[in-house]
Every structure is written in C-alpha cells, then in structure tokens.
Structure 1
C-alpha cells in the first residue's frame, strides 16, 4: 500500500506510516547534490525494494522503466512515464535521506550515515544490522514494510526521554567536635604573709644611781 504527500519548498517523500513530524521536523535534509548516474539510481530503486538489476546501462530497458513507473505511481509523481526526471530523482533522494536519518536515530552508528541521496554500501550495511537486530531476513533491502518498522523504532527512540542521572551529592562532612576547653586552673591561694615581727621592747634603762651625799667636814 502506498500513499503520497503534497510537495512543498522542500519535497518530502514518505510512506503511509512515516509521519512528517518524526525526524523531518528536526532534521535538515541536504538538497539533491546532482543527477544520479544510471547505476546510482538503479541502486536506489533496488535498495527500496524494486526489481531492477544494478548496472550502469541507460535507464531505458523495460524492467527499469517499469520499476520507475511503479515508484512514480506510489508517490503520485506526474507524469507517470517511467523516466527518472528531476522530480522523480528529488523524491528518491529525499526518501534515502529520511531512511538514513532514521537509521542514525535507531542504530546510532559511529560515524553517522551521511544524509545524502545514495543507497551505498554503508546504508545497505546499516539496513542489514537493523534486520539482524529485529530478527528479520538480512537482505539489505529497505522495502516498504521495513521502512515502516524503522519509522516506528525511530519514533520510540525520539520520544524516549534521555534524562541524565542525578549525580549523588557527597555527604556533608561531619564537623570536628568542638574541643572542650580545659578547666580554668584554680589559682593557688594567696600565701598568708608572715606576721610582722613585733619589735623588741625598748630595754628599760637602769635607774640613775643616786649620788651619795657629800660628807660634811668635821669641826
């Protein structure tokens, strides 16, 4: 089952279950770098699940024209003429960019896939990794069913909150106990002063001897 989108200043090609509000809303897609070579465009068609052989022959064989016509019908690209004109190439380039962006969201390859217009070996390897992770047949082909599943996984990855774990705060160090002050030493009692010695009593003077009376002379 296919469905188309209206075109805008940036043409976004998507499938029925790919929401334009998913990766597209926060991803800037590169404009188509240049016209595809026949081999590059066949690689895109084959990578998206169309039955073509990857050669560098002109895109004029019946098998390739049929694949291009199916692609144009699926995305309502007019005219449906089986020719890989500019509008058809623009849609193909943007589908690959969306695919690569969703792979980056889900698988987180390092380095990330470039969001370009090419279904190269790195993109194919990422598809195989996604298929292996989800126990799908490892074909390297991003058909409609796989792109729908990849879209759902990308939605989950984007909506999942990535909160950083709150760092545990170091416990507040316990303060050293305030040292108890040494008891104020008791002052030695003021020594009692020696009693002032009493002065020796003034010695009493011997009484002045009374003089003998002068004798009277005899007559």
Structure 2
C-alpha cells in the first residue's frame, strides 16, 4: 500500500513498512510500460536484495518463487508466488523511487531514466553511492541501503544547501600618482680658461769679446857704423 504526501514542491512516497522515499515534485511515476520479462524481473529482485540468480527461464523455480513470496509478504501484497500485475507495479514503483533518489544525491551527468528496470546504469550508480559511503560495492540496493538513501534525500530537501552569492567587492581604482618630472638643472658650462702662452724669453746672444790683436814689436834695425 502506498501513501502520498505533498509538501512544498516535494512528494514523499511512503510504504507502510518501509522508510520514506523522497522524490522531487517534478518526478511523476511513469506507468509500467509493459510486463517484465523473466530475466528483467529477476534483475529487479536481485537489485533490491533478494537471493535470486538472473536468468531467462520462467519464474517458476523454487529459488525465484521464494524470492517473489518474500517480496509480496514484505509489501503486503497477495502472497501467491506469482508475478501478477500488482506485484509488477510494486516492483516498478520501488525502482523508480530508487532512480529518482540516486539522481538527487549523486547528480550524475546522465540521469537515470524513470522506468521500471534495474539497469546496468542503475547498478553502477548504486555502487558509486556505496563507494562514497565506504560500503561494499555490490550494486545491490537492499532495504537498509534504500533507507539510508531515503534519509539523505530528506535531509537535502529539508535543509537545502544554498550557495552564498559572492559579495561584489568594488575594485579599488589605483590612485594615480603624478610622475614627478625631474628638475632640469642647467648644464654648467666649464669656464674656458685662456691658455697662457709662455712668454718667449729672448735668447741671450753671448757678447763677442774682441780678440786682442797682438801689437807687433818693432824690430830694431841695425844702424851701420860710419
């Protein structure tokens, strides 16, 4: 039995014996597209934590019938071990809730479709969630794990994380400091000192002293004796 509760843009889907599953308001549960094939329904049972092997054989072996009976008992359905419309609808609804909740908590680039199948993509996202929370990466979303995901989704919806808007800090314009022009100092021209020409001293010509001319001594002429 399912109960619907609308609250502030969210729909909280509840089972009478299972913890709440929370999905966003734009999530509408798609009607089951068609009847499950044997391997598809076994995949759902296995993905939800029931001990069954996935194969294409009819759903009449003891292992599968036991899993179906446990599923029907847990969700207060008619317990007959057969996969009738009510049992299939219940399975499809649980899968769709799981898909929506994982889309909410993991925000994958490729969102899970809103369908009835426990697909390889769904299994991989279950593993991703388990890895994130340091759990065994089985890809199986049993009741305990689904309850954990449900609680996380409720927390997200109840206390949405709002990103603070960045405060726009006005850009301080730099103060333009006038460039100080250097004071032009007049170029001091060196005083040209006149070149002092040395005074030419007249060459002192030596005074030529006259050479004393020797005065000839007169030679005495002998006077002849008369």
Distance in 2 separating the partners of 1:38 and 1:156: 37
Matched, 1:118 2:79: no
Q: Which residue of 2 aligns with 1:44?
A: 44
Q: CA deviation at 1:172?
A: 8.7
In structure 1, the gaps of 5 or more residues are 175-219
Q: Is the alpha carbon distance of 1:168 and 1:61 closer, same or farther for their aligned partners in structure 2, counting shifts above 3 Å?
A: same
How many residues matched? 166
CA RMSD of aligned residues (A): 2.3
Deviations 1:118-154 (A, max 9, x none): 0010000000011111011111110111001111111
Q: Which residue of 1 aligns with 2:224?
A: none
Q: Which residue of 1 aligns with 2:31?
A: 31
Q: Which residue of 2 aligns with 1:18?
A: 19
Distance in 1 separating the partners of 2:110 and 2:171: 43
User: Is the 8 Å Cα contact of residues 13 and 91 (structure 1) preserved in structure 2?
Assistant: no
Instruction: Classify the secondary structure of the residue corresponding to 2:152.
Output: helix
The normalised TM-score by structure 2 is 0.67
4+ runs of 1 displaced by more than 6 Å?
none
User: Is the 8 Å Cα contact of residues 17 and 151 (structure 1) preserved in structure 2?
Assistant: no
**Whose radius of gyration is greater, 1 or 2?**
2
User: Is the 8 Å Cα contact of residues 3 and 15 (structure 2) preserved in structure 1?
Assistant: no
Q: Which residue of 1 aligns with 2:84?
A: 85
Q: CA deviation at 1:54?
A: 0.3
In structure 2, the gaps of 5 or more residues are 5-12, 174-226
User: Is the 8 Å Cα contact of residues 106 and 153 (structure 1) preserved in structure 2?
Assistant: yes
1:1-219 alignment to 2 at 5 Å? 5=2, 14=15, 16-19=17-20, 22-23=22-23, 26-78=26-78, 80-169=79-168, 171=170
User: Is the 8 Å Cα contact of residues 52 and 63 (structure 1) preserved in structure 2?
Assistant: yes
Q: CA deviation at 1:13?
A: 6.8
Q: Is the alpha carbon distance of 1:173 and 1:135 closer, same or farther for their aligned partners in structure 2, counting shifts above 3 Å?
A: closer
Q: CA deviation at 1:23?
A: 1.3
Q: Which residue of 2 aligns with 1:216?
A: none
Q: CA deviation at 1:169?
A: 3.5
Instruction: Classify the secondary structure of the residue corresponding to 2:108.
Output: coil
User: Is the 8 Å Cα contact of residues 42 and 52 (structure 2) preserved in structure 1?
Assistant: yes
User: Is the 8 Å Cα contact of residues 20 and 147 (structure 2) preserved in structure 1?
Assistant: no
User: Is the 8 Å Cα contact of residues 15 and 148 (structure 1) preserved in structure 2?
Assistant: no
Distance in 2 separating the partners of 1:148 and 1:127: 13
| Structure with higher strand content | 2
